[in-house]
Structure 1
Amino acid sequence: MIKQHARLLDELAAAGRLSEVWRPHFERVPRHEFVPEVAWFGWDNRVISRADEPEAWLDAAYADGPIVTQFDDGKVLPGGAPGLSPSSSLSMPRIVARMLDAAMIVDGMRVLEIGTGSGWSAALLADRLGDANVTSIEIDATILRAAQRALRQAGHAPTTVAADGTGGYAAHAPYDRVLATCSVYRVPPAWIAQTRPGGFIVTPWRLAMPSGLLVRLEVDEDGTASGPFVCPAWFMVTRNQRRSTDQVPMTGPALDGRTSLRRGEVFESESAQFAVAVLVPNCDQWTESGDAGVTVRLDDLASGSWAAVAYGDESGTDFAVRQGGPRRLWDEVEAAYAWWQDAGRPEYIRFGLTVDGATQRLWIDEPAAVVANL
């Protein structure tokens, strides 16, 4: 085992991020065998090239960080400047290990993976369960071909399918586990239908307002699935559930006001932002920085509603708010934040999700305590 590989596994294990159950499989499935010759590394999307900088490329392969392998669905060539949106990647090793642990996999299980990507997770699963028990789906044919080559070279041959993963793969159903390496706003019914009762679906799940969490849903005999949120998990959204990137023009009649709610209280707290995102549905949020300082924007494209909070240098005690459209989005944010405070500032791990047909119910502490229907 090369030194970078050994160091990464030691660091993950020491931090409690790699279990003894999965460590042997991480040892036998080297990550660098699934890293393209040219890719983008880290949060700054720095280009890494095996030919030009072999040691830096290897260091990146065994850093606990993401490696983007595709931007804009392949419209951007590897090695060039990053595109607008990453569309395929190798996830952080700590997240891969956490997802595998969360799935509570035992020997002999049949697993469906949604999103083959580089093939690394599929190889880890195949190393644990055997090729015959692993099926992996990838929507992008180019990405899938690269993964198939990497899997063959690494000595693994799980079933790999070029298809939209939101439809699952009925030919090998039922599965004991469904694991998604892409995020969804709504859990596809096919995943539930193709999971045996008592089996689990483990998927990154999110809302319109930035808030990515990993959820583990147990499938019941009645066709519902329910379970808790496990940990933060930011993943690319599956292609057929992507939201529009259009913005609502700040035009028409507007209501001016002031707010004492600071940006960090809501948008820099994992649990507060999650609660607000649940209670202010279909609301996109982002931050703009300019000569006038920081502004938080909120949009609901469907209703044409918008809000803007001018935080400036954030040194004040109250801040200017403008809102337009039929929804008063900032008022909704303040009401949601007040609910979260009154509820005792619950952390995200107290929440869970139940999927029942086309309905998703968000609950706190137990499925009967419904917070919102989504």
Structure 2
Amino acid sequence: MDDGRTLPTGPASGDFSSSVSAPDVVFEKLSHLELGPHHTALDVGYGSGCHTAYLCERVGSDRVTAVEMDHDLADRGAANLKRAGYAPHLVCDDGLLGVPERAPYDRIISTAALRTVPCPWIGHVREGGLILTPFGTAYENAGLLKLRVTRGRAEGRFVGGASYMWMRGQRPGRALNVSDDAPARRSASPIDPHEVLQGSYAQNFAIGLQVPDVSYSHRGRGDDRKVQFVDQSGTSVAIVRYSRWWEDDAVRVWGPRDLWGEVVTSFSWYQRERRPDVTRFGVTADAEGQRFWLDEPGRPVAS
């Protein structure tokens, strides 16, 4: 918990920051890796070593490289792997940088969620190789992304749902940089907030691809229940009341952006597109940046 600041002996408080996934979830993810016995693999975030052991069992220890950022976890994982008879190449470093001295790899697989595909990973994969990673936005962390690398570009679709803890270097921020005395712009909501915020994870995921830097949280209960939206810079905030949402003071907005307006527009787009499943969305990532699309790269998802 809390990147090791909470000791294993407790007391248990703070945020969970690392875990061992259930085996059925792990094997469902690994089934998308197309890992052959001749492939080399980079495992990002090896933690306990269990996930790395599965890769070693498939291709042999000499073909597996694994990286872990947390020193305590790295030591424990290394001891577990050695005790179980596996000897992959282990590195304690920032996994977002990859392990260039062992590149190129046929496969890169991550055990933590990303918001942006790291450029070093793309450069470390052989032509035609794969990157498989949990992926999400500040709004919704829920996709499993499978990318194929060709000519310096990683491109592919989401192959299903996956909710994993964030890679430490890509955790959504929690800053709030709006002055306490800044005036709020007040208005009615154009739609019942329940319709936007009580939908499926697929709906939230689609909205998040359009407002990837916006997060939300709830407060209060009953008639006092509200939802707060904040962008990653913390300079724009919106608070929306669930009850009497049609009244002129149901929405309060601070900063240069109307975050509730952006979320409602994204929800409307999702409805017009007949509520597409997560697997219809994809990502293209290269030196120019990262783009989201629906069905094919030529149909960009506006953000």
Query: Does the TM-score normalized on the shorter chain lie above 0.5?
Result: yes
Structure 1 partner of 2:275: 345
Q: 1:93 to 1:271 in 2, by over 3 A?
A: same
Q: 1:223 to 1:325 in 2, by over 3 A?
A: same
Q: CA deviation at 1:109?
A: 0.8
Structure 2 partner of 1:227: 156
Structure 2 partner of 1:88: 18
Structure 2 partner of 1:369: 299
Relative CO higher for 1 or 2, CA cutoff 8 Å, sep ≥ 6? 2
Q: Secondary structure at the match of 1:86?
A: coil
| 1:162-201 matches, cutoff 5 A | 162-201=92-131
Contact 1:251-1:324 within 8 A present in 2 as well: no
**Which runs of no fewer than 5 residues in structure 1 stay unpaired?**
1-70
Structure 2 partner of 1:299: 230
Q: CA deviation at 1:284?
A: 1.4
CA distance in 2, matches of 1:224, 1:267: 36
Q: 1:169 to 1:301 in 2, by over 3 A?
A: closer
Q: Secondary structure at the match of 2:242?
A: strand
RMSD: 1.9
Task: Name the amino acid aligned to 1:198.
Answer: G
Q: 1:344 to 1:299 in 2, by over 3 A?
A: same
Q: CA deviation at 1:268?
A: 3.4
Q: CA deviation at 1:328?
A: 0.7
TM-score by length of 1: 0.76
Q: CA deviation at 1:278?
A: 1.8
Task: Name the amino acid aligned to 1:353.
Answer: V
Q: Secondary structure at the match of 1:278?
A: helix
Contact 1:261-1:334 within 8 A present in 2 as well: no
Q: CA deviation at 1:246?
A: 2.6
Structure 1 stretch displaced more, 351-360 or 249-258: 249-258
Task: Name the amino acid aligned to 2:77.
Answer: A
CA distance in 1, matches of 2:62, 2:292: 36
Task: Name the amino acid aligned to 1:274.
Answer: F
Q: 1:228 to 1:285 in 2, by over 3 A?
A: same
CA distance in 1, matches of 2:194, 2:47: 35
Structure 1 partner of 2:200: 269
Give runs of ≥4 in structure 1 deviating > 6 Å. Answer: none
Contact 1:231-1:349 within 8 A present in 2 as well: yes
Q: Give CA deviations for 1:132-179 in whole Å, capped at 9, x if unaligned.
A: 111100011110110111111211111111111111111221111000
Task: Name the amino acid aligned to 1:352.
Answer: G
Contact 2:154-2:286 within 8 A present in 1 as well: yes
Structure 2 partner of 1:136: 66
Q: Secondary structure at the match of 2:18?
A: strand
Q: Give CA deviations for 1:75-99 in whole Å, capped at 9, x if unaligned.
A: 1011313332222110132221121
Find 2:167's aligned residue among 235, 238, 243. 238
Task: Name the amino acid aligned to 1:235.
Answer: Y
Q: 1:263 to 1:188 in 2, by over 3 A?
A: same
Q: CA deviation at 1:280?
A: 2.0
Contact 2:33-2:130 within 8 A present in 1 as well: yes
**Which runs of no fewer than 5 residues in structure 2 stay unpaired?**
none
Q: How many residues align structurally? A: 299
Structure 1 partner of 2:286: 356
Contact 1:110-1:177 within 8 A present in 2 as well: yes
Corresponding position: 1:210 with 2:155: no
